[in-house]
Amino acid sequence: MSIVVRTLAERVFEIVREQIVTGQLPNNLPIRQDALATELGVSKIPLREALARLEQEGLLTSHANRGYFVQPMSAQQVDEIYVLRLAIEPPAAVYAAERATEADHAAAIEAFHKLDGAATSNLAEVAVRNRDFHTALVRPGGRLLTTQLVERLSILAERYVVAHLQPAGRESRAHTEHQDLIDAWLARDGARLTTLLTEHLQGTLDDLRQQFESTA
């Protein structure tokens, strides 16, 4: 595949992923590939590659003779995602903090500032920056599989992050929690980092559980 097509597929992937994360693509209807390709001004080749990648990331499902569908959000899935994050992220972040170099510190600080500066009107961008920030706290540990797991779970959590941030007041709370997290991480304060990250993830999960219960 040429570099041009590969780059185009990457861009299509980003656009369709944003449409999924922000709820622009409905859950209960097959994705109309002809219409979507026309809307994006691309051929079906980069679109199919993007859709296949989105299926690998757990955002789409495919059904024989019916095409691709958006994977519905559910209380069961959010529970599974955040229970796994609670088990993996706090110890991984502590392990990484103990081994982080000055360059790692700079990268984590940059990720924090990009998250902090993301436009609140574009929650899809906030979700991506949130994923980058959380991944930056574990990457310096040098454990590739752990980092990949954290990043994959963060990708799956993006739609739920958007849903979580929609009620008023959530954004300012998230800012304070992220600031405390980066401070503890930079200070290599393992005990405080464990407590803060656990409370941050658990608090998000508790809020999302309530949101699902209220709409049930």
For 101, the 3-state DSSP assignment is coil
Confidence of residue 5 (pLDDT cuts 50, 70, 90): low
User: How far apart, in whole angstroms, are the C-alpha atoms of residue 98 and residue 103?
Assistant: 14
Contact 46, 5 (CB under 8 A): yes
Contact 148, 92 (CB under 8 A): no
Q: Which residue from 153, 185, 144 is spatially nearest to 58, judged by alpha carbons?
A: 153
* Complete DSSP assignment for 113-152: HHHHHS-TT-HHHHHHHHHHHHHHTTGGG--HHHHHHHHH
Residue 41 one-letter amino acid: G
Q: Return the half-sphere exposure (C-beta side, CA atoms, 13 A cut-off) of residue 6.
A: 3
Spatial CB neighbours of 67, under 8 Å, sequence gap ≥ 6:
30, 31, 33
Share the mean pLDDT of the chain. Answer: 91
How confident is the model at residue 24, as a pLDDT?
87
Q: Is 3 a residue whose pLDDT tops 50? A: no
How confident is the model at residue 6, as a pLDDT?
63
Q: Which residue from 80, 62, 81, 84 is spatially nearest to 71, judged by alpha carbons?
A: 62
Dihedral sign for Cα 95, 99, 103, 106, please.
positive
Q: Is 2 a residue whose pLDDT tops 70? A: no
Structural domains for the chain: 3-70 (1.10.10.10), 75-215 (1.20.120.530)
Least confident of 91-100, 137-146, 186-195, 204-213: 204-213
Least confident of 1-10, 36-45, 182-191: 1-10
How confident is the model at residue 22, as a pLDDT?
82
Confidence of residue 216 (pLDDT cuts 50, 70, 90): low
For residue range 141-170, list pLDDT tens digits in order: 999 999 999 999 998 999 999 888 887 678
Q: Is 182 a residue whose pLDDT tops 50? A: yes
Burial of 62 (0-12, 13-18, 19+ CB in 10 A): middle
Mean pLDDT of 53-67: 89
Mean pLDDT of 57-85: 92
Mean pLDDT of 35-52: 92
For 59, the 3-state DSSP assignment is coil
